[in-house]
């Protein structure tokens, strides 16, 4: 597919980039053809990574798809590509940039693709909390753990303080690693994943506190801090937060045979009454392996649930909430942005490169490597 006639093809990085506006109203069929043509043109130099929460029209072009953990491994293992186009969100692209060499351009097709949970914790607030904790407990006995849904700066904070990163796939293994070394964990930004994982390990609620960065001592007494083993940041996923115990009860009332499968970012009260709980990858494997004719309701992002229903027509797969709620930023990548970013990459005028400053990347890499090494 030819480039727009008004702008000549070039490999000069100083040349003008292709503007986005002409792509906005192109027919889907033309966009798809141009995306495929650019993939062929770049060949092994291009790697398109797609998170499971992306729209079907976009994820079909992914060379590799997965959850945050699997995509982190793919990025770390990439050796031949010079361009990674990440169909996901900003923190995922940052992670890919940290884990790849300086000769690889990591591109996020739409810079507005983000994560509201990642925005709930920032370096300044976490550093302030760390300092406050040090006034009341032995901070050298605390391991900071950040969920991968966080900024590179927070990952770097963990790297500098003998901590690491986790995903929903390996959160338990990360907490076990942490408790083998120190007696306390400071877990952010998702309180639900931290609480649900710690409870599954036998840690009681009386040993957990929630840290609200807006309140003195996070809203806790000094005595509560000293009793704690797990300090949970007051953060959550806006999509998983909407699933309620009443939704589970209603589906079971309508269908006594239904199985409830939820992500550990859901609140504890939902996790406690679900039949199965696990990461995005676990959810996919569970539905795929389920018996024909079985009935499921799934508490996770809507695009993934709909895809599972489409790909498993021999089962009944439904969304747990009666309300349609999608993450407004998680699925922002669309065909116009993907085509625009790919064609600019192919002509040597890359757009929306995600670059983590060297000093941040170095410390974040330590925390991410620890995560990847945990078995």
**Per the domain annotation, does 15 fall within a domain?**
no
Q: Please spell the DSSP secondary structure of 224-276, one letter per residue.
A: HHHH-SEEEES---TTGGG--HHHHHHHHHH-TT-EEEE-TTS-HHHHTT-SE
| E strands in the chain | 46-51, 64-66, 83-87, 105-107, 142-147, 164-166, 184-188, 208-211, 230-233, 259-262, 276-277, 295-299, 316-319
Which residues partner with 147 through β-bridges? 166
Name the packing angle between helices 90-99 and 68-77 (round to 10°): 30
Residues 37 and 105 grouped into a single domain? yes
Residues 199 and 124 grouped into a single domain? yes
Question: For the whole model, what pTM was predicted?
Answer: 0.89
What's the rounded Cα separation, in Å, for the pair 328 and 115?
A: 9
Structure tokens at 52: 């499971």
The residue among 181, 215, 237 that closes a domain is: 237
Residues 259 and 284 grouped into a single domain? yes
Largest CA distance in the chain: 70
Residues 86 and 123 grouped into a single domain? no
**Per the domain annotation, does 48 fall within a domain?**
yes
pLDDT for the residue 7 = 31
Q: How many Cβ atoms sit within 10 Å of the Cβ of residue 348?
A: 14
Residues 6+ apart with CB under 8 A from 212: 218, 219, 234
What's the rounded Cα separation, in Å, for the pair 314 and 303?
A: 19
Number of domains within the chain: 3
Residues 107 and 128 grouped into a single domain? no
pLDDT for the residue 363 = 98
pLDDT for the residue 74 = 84
The residue among 205, 237, 269 that closes a domain is: 237
Query: pLDDT per position in the chain (375 positions), as tens?
Result: 333 333 334 444 456 899 999 999 999 999 999 999 999 999 999 999 998 888 889 999 999 988 877 888 888 888 789 999 999 889 999 999 999 999 999 999 999 987 878 889 999 999 999 999 999 999 999 999 999 999 999 999 999 999 999 999 999 999 999 999 999 999 999 999 999 999 999 999 999 999 999 999 999 999 999 999 999 999 998 888 889 999 999 999 999 999 999 999 999 999 999 999 999 999 999 999 999 999 999 999 888 999 999 999 999 999 998 766 555 566 689 999 999 999 999 999 999 999 999 999 999 999 999 999 996
What's the rounded Cα separation, in Å, for the pair 205 and 193?
A: 14
pLDDT for the residue 301 = 87
**Per the domain annotation, does 265 fall within a domain?**
yes
From residue 90, alpha-carbon distances to 4, 195, 336 in Å are: 28, 25, 18
pLDDT for the residue 78 = 80
| Long-range contacts, 334-337 (Cβ 8 Å, 24+) | 334/55, 334/57, 334/58, 334/110, 335/28, 335/31, 335/32, 335/35, 335/57, 335/58, 336/20, 336/23, 336/24, 336/26, 336/31, 337/20, 337/23, 337/109, 337/110
Residues 124 and 106 grouped into a single domain? no
**Per the domain annotation, does 197 fall within a domain?**
yes
What's the rounded Cα separation, in Å, for the pair 172 and 56?
A: 31
Closest CA to 317 of 341, 282, 351, 293: 293
Residues 61 and 125 grouped into a single domain? no
The residue among 290, 319, 348 that closes a domain is: 319
**Per the domain annotation, does 3 fall within a domain?**
no
What's the rounded Cα separation, in Å, for the pair 343 and 348?
A: 9
Domain boundaries, position 286: 240-319
From residue 218, alpha-carbon distances to 25, 177, 268, 312 in Å are: 48, 25, 21, 45
From residue 260, alpha-carbon distances to 164, 264, 266, 281, 297 in Å are: 31, 13, 12, 16, 5
Kindly report whether the peptide bond that precedes residue 274 is cis, defined as omega within 30 degrees of 0: no
Closest CA to 261 of 242, 246, 280: 280
- Could you give the count of Cα atoms lying within 13 Å of 305 in the half-sphere of its Cβ? 22
Closest CA to 69 of 3, 174, 167: 167
**Per the domain annotation, does 373 fall within a domain?**
no
Residues 214 and 244 grouped into a single domain? no
Residues 6+ apart with CB under 8 A from 108: 86, 88, 89, 90, 93, 341, 352, 354
| Cα-only R_g, the chain | 22
Report residue 85: phi and psi, to 5°.
-105, 115
CATH code: domain of residue 294: 3.40.50.10800
Name the strand (E) or helix (H) holding 223. helix 222-227
Residues 88 and 175 grouped into a single domain? no
Taking a C-beta distance cutoff of 8 angstroms, is the pair 152, 158 a contact? no
């Amino acid at each position: 597919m030819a480039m727009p006639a008004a702008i000549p093809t070039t490999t000069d990085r100083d040349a003008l980039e292709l503007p986005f506006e002409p792509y906005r109203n192109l027919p889907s069929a033309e966009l798809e053809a141009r995306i495929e043509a650019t993939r062929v043109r770049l060949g092994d130099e291009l790697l398109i990574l797609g998170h499971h929460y992306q729209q079907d029209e976009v994820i079909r072009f992914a060379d590799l798809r997965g959850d945050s953990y699997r995509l982190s491994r793919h990025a770390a293992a990439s050796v031949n590509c010079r361009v990674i186009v990440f169909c996901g969100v900003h923190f995922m692209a940052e992670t890919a940039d940290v884990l790849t060499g300086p000769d690889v351009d990591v591109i996020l097709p739409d810079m507005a693709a983000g994560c509201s949970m990642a925005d709930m914790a920032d370096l300044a607030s976490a550093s302030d909390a760390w300092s406050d904790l040090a006034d009341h407990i032995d901070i050298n006995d605390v391991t900071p753990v950040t969920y991968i849904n966080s900024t590179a700066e927070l990952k770097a904070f963990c790297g500098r303080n003998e901590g690491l990163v986790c995903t929903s796939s390996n959160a338990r293994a990360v907490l076990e690693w942490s408790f083998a070394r120190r007696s306390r964990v400071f877990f952010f930004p998702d309180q639900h994943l931290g609480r649900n994982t710690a409870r599954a390990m036998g840690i009681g609620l009386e040993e957990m506190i929630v840290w609200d960065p807006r309140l003195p001592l996070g809203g806790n007494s000094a005595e509560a801090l000293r009793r704690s083993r797990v300090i949970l940041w007051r953060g959550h996923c806006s999509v998983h937060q909407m699933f309620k115990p009443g939704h589970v009860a209603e589906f079971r009332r309508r269908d006594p045979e239904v199985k409830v499968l939820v992500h550990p970012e859901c609140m504890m009260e939902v996790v406690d009454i679900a039949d199965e709980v696990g990461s995005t990858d676990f959810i996919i494997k569970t539905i795929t392996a389920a018996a024909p004719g079985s009935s499921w309701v799934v508490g996770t992002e809507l695009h993934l649930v709909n895809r599972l229903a489409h790909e498993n027509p021999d089962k009944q797969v439904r969304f747990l909430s009666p309300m349609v709620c999608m993450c407004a930023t998680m699925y922002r990548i669309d065909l116009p942005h993907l085509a625009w970013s790919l064609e600019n990459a192919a002509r040597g005028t890359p757009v929306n490169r995600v670059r983590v400053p060297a000093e941040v990347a170095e410390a974040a890499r330590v925390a991410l490597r620890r995560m990847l090494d945990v078995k």
